[in-house]
Amino acid sequence: MSEQEFESLVDDALDQIPGELLELVDNCLLLIEDVPPDGDIELFGLYVGVPLTERGSDTLLTQPDQIFIYRRPILAACRTDEEVAHEIAVTVVHEIGHYFGIDESRLHELGWG
């Protein structure tokens, strides 16, 4: 799958998230990288930042939060384009969940990870 096709699937995943929820995401970048910095082929995505539930007045002037989606680990784990699209959608929702302060165990309970 080409980088453009992968990026298009990430855009599709974002389009599936209700607009009123996405409007609450502020100062956050979504970035697509080939692999995680540590080379972990089992890591599909990563949220780096301060979750909304932990923010105070001192976090107003901080760097943007970042959500990373890792292309090669997702492609390696999936056999079909449909599986890739599904895994991207799950990963995008999972990482946005972390932005909102939802922890790993709760995301798994909800079926997002």
Domain extent listing, the chain? 3-52+63-109
**Helices and strands (DSSP H and E) totals, the chain:** 5, 3
pLDDT band at 108 (very low <50, low <70, confident <90, very high): confident
8-state DSSP, 11: H
The topology under which CATH files domain 3-52+63-109 is Zincin-like (3.30.2010)
Question: Tell me: the pLDDT tens digits for 18-60?
Answer: 888 888 888 899 999 999 999 888 999 999 998 888 877 665 6
pTM over 0.75: yes
